[in-house]
C-alpha cells in the first residue's frame, strides 16, 4: 500500500552542517510514530522538510505518492498536513471557540464550522473554556486548544512537536489519551523527549542522530538499546 508520507534519501545541508542524512522514512495511513533524538539530531529540520519550510538539498518527500519536495510553505495545510509547533500559534485576543472556529471555517461552510468547533472542543476537553480568551489560558490548556486548531482542519497527517513539554504529570497522561483518540482518525508523527510519554502512545519509535535514522523499533527495545543509551550521554532517555 502507498504510504501516507515517505521520504527517500532525504538530505539537507546548511553550509557545513549536514542536518538531514539519507533519511528514508515511511508512515502508513493512520499510523502513529514517535521521533526522538538528542539536541541537534535534526528533528526540527525533519518537520520543516515535511511542511515545506526547508527545501531538501537532495532526495524526495512523497505524500500519498505525490512528490511534495519542492512545495511552498503554504501548501502543506491544503494537502492535508497539519502541524503544531512549539511556537505559540493561537490568536491571544480571540476566544478558544473563535480560534478553533477559524481553523474549521477554512475548509467548511459557516454552519459546518460551528458543528466541527463544538465537536473539537469536546474532543480536546475544552468545551467549558469556549468563551475564554486564548491569551488567558494556562500552558496545558493552551496546548490542547492548539491541538484542537490542528484537528479542526481534519488533516490526514498531524505533526506534533513536543506536545507534552512543560506539562504536569496529569496533563501529560491526558495528552497521551488525547493523542491516542486522535490517532483513531489521523496519522501522527510526534517529536518528544519524555520517554514515559512515548511509552504511553507509541508502538514504533524512530531515532535520529546527527541527521540520520539510526534505529526504528518499539519503545522498550529503543530504551534498552546500548547505543541509544550512549547517545543520551550514558543515561537512559528521560
Q: Minimum distance between the CB of residue 163 and ligand ATP, rounded to whole angstroms? A: 14
Residues 6 or more apart whose Cβ sits within 8 Å of residue 108: 116
- Contact predicate 57/48, CB 8 Å: no
Q: How far is the CB of 49 from ligand ATP (least distance, A)?
A: 9
19 binds ligand ATP (CB under 6 A): yes
- Name which of 14 and 168 has its Cβ closer to ligand ATP: 14
Contact between 17 and ligand ATP per CB under 6 A: yes
Binding mask 33-72 for ligand ATP (x = CB under 6 A): ----x-xxxxxxx---------------------------
* Residue appearing with cell numbers 475544552: 126
Nearer to ligand ATP, 42 or 155 (CB): 42
Separation CA 121–CA 116 (nearest Å): 9
Distances (CA, A) of 223 to 141, 197, 205, 215: 30, 13, 10, 11
Smaller CB distance to ligand ATP: residue 44 or 133? Answer: 44
* Residue 114 CB burial class (10 angstroms; 0-12, 13-18, ≥19): middle
Does residue 155 contact residue 83 with C-beta atoms inside 8 Å? Answer: no
Q: Is 209 in the site for ligand ATP (CB under 6 A)?
A: no
Among 14, 139, 221, 227, which residue interacts with ligand ATP (rule: CB under 6 A)? 14
Residues that bind ligand ATP in the complex, under the rule CB under 6 A:
14, 17, 19, 37, 39-45
Amino acid at each position: 500500500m502507498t504510504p501516507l508520507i515517505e521520504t527517500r534519501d532525504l538530505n539537507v545541508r546548511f553550509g557545513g552542517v549536514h542536518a538531514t542524512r539519507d533519511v528514508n522514512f515511511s508512515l502508513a495511513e493512520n499510523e502513529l510514530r514517535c521521533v526522538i533524538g538528542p539536541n541537534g539530531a535534526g528533528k526540527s529540520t525533519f518537520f520543516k522538510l515535511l511542511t515545506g519550510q526547508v527545501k531538501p538539498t537532495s532526495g524526495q518527500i512523497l505524500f500519498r505518492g505525490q512528490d511534495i519536495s519542492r512545495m511552498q510553505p503554504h501548501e502543506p495545510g491544503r494537502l492535508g498536513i497539519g502541524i503544531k509547533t512549539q511556537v505559540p500559534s493561537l490568536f491571544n485576543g480571540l476566544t478558544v471557540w473563535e480560534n478553533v472556529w477559524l481553523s474549521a471555517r477554512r475548509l467548511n461552510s459557516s454552519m459546518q464550522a460551528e458543528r466541527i468547533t463544538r465537536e473539537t472542543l469536546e474532543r480536546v476537553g475544552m468545551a467549558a473554556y469556549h468563551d475564554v480568551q486564548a491569551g488567558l489560558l494556562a500552558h496545558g490548556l493552551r496546548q490542547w486548544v492548539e491541538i484542537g486548531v490542528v484537528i479542526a482542519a481534519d488533516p490526514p497527517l498531524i505533526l506534533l512537536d513536543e506536545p507534552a513539554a512543560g506539562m504536569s504529570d496529569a496533563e501529560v497522561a491526558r495528552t497521551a489519551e488525547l493523542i491516542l483518540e486522535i490517532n483513531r482518525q489521523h496519522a501522527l508523527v510526534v517529536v518528544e523527549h519524555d520517554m514515559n510519554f512515548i511509552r504511553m502512545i507509541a508502538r514504533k519509535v524512530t531515532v535520529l542522530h546527527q541527521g540520520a535514522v539510526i534505529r526504528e523499533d518499539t519503545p522498550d527495545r529503543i530504551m534498552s538499546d546500548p547505543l541509544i543509551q550512549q547517545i543520551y550521554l550514558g543515561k537512559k532517555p528521560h
